[in-house]
Amino acid sequence: MDAIFLDRDGVLNEEIGYASDPKDLRLITGATAAIRVFNERSIPVVVVSNQSGIARGYHTETDTKRFNAALSKALQKEGAYVDGWYYCPHHPDGKGEYAKVCDCRKPMPGLLRRAADEMSLDLSRSVVIGDKASDIAAGIAVGCQTVLVLTGHGANEWAVWREDFQPSHVAPDLARATEWLLAKWRRICRPIGS
């Protein structure tokens, strides 16, 4: 695996709707341990997140950066870290400079491509993990393996969209997605002669 791309809300932290205040941060059980597993294997972990609350006027980019910093600090307290943070502040029905159709709002793959370019990552050897059909569609568009987690919006998305998109795997949460990926990776990456 070259990299793990994670959605933020509903995958790492509890989905509360337009999360922006660090006091509302609640990590999903097992998320920190899952990230630590990738960290220990030197697999970059990159967060790619739609943050349309900025475009809608619910909060600012500064608020988003503050929330990301609080999330980063919470992960670091438990020995885990994120290698890159990317977010899309746009929405077609937003306000001002953020009101636009862009290539960085998932399901468009612009954030994934930007992160891959800036961090020299091979998307065809990477995995996108998210709780929405838009996360899975963005990953598929650039040739990533994809995992839908059933936390956040995942269970509802899977119930509604299961006929329309096919993630590589569906897992109850990030911890179980990580277990599946490691088992799959071991099968693919067997030492020569084994």
Q: Is 7 annotated as a binding residue?
A: yes
Listing from the earlier edge strand, what are the strands of the sheet with 3-6?
84-88, 45-50, 3-6, 126-130, 145-149, 169-171
> Apex CA 97: angle with CA 130 and CA 138, to 5°?
20
Residue 7 bears catalytic tag: yes
Q: Is 16 annotated among the ligand-binding residues? A: yes
Q: Is 83 a catalytic residue?
A: no
**Is 2 assigned to a binding site?**
no
Nearest partner of 35 among 59, 11, 9, judged by Cα: 11
Ligand-binding annotation for 20, yes or no, is: no
Q: Where are the beta strands (DSSP E) in the chain?
A: 3-6, 45-50, 84-88, 126-130, 145-149, 169-171
120 is in an annotated binding site: no
Longest Cα–Cα distance of the chain, Å, equals 60
Q: Which of 9, 83, 135, 173 is catalytic?
A: 9
Binding site annotation covers 157? no
Residue in 2, 7, 103, 173 annotated catalytic: 7
**Is 58 marked as a binding-site residue?**
no
Binding-site positions: 7-9, 15-18, 49-52, 88, 90, 102, 104-106, 131-132
Catalytic center residues? 7, 9
Known binding residues for Mg(2+) are 7, 9, 131-132
Binding annotation for substrate: 7-9, 15-18, 49-52, 105-106, 132
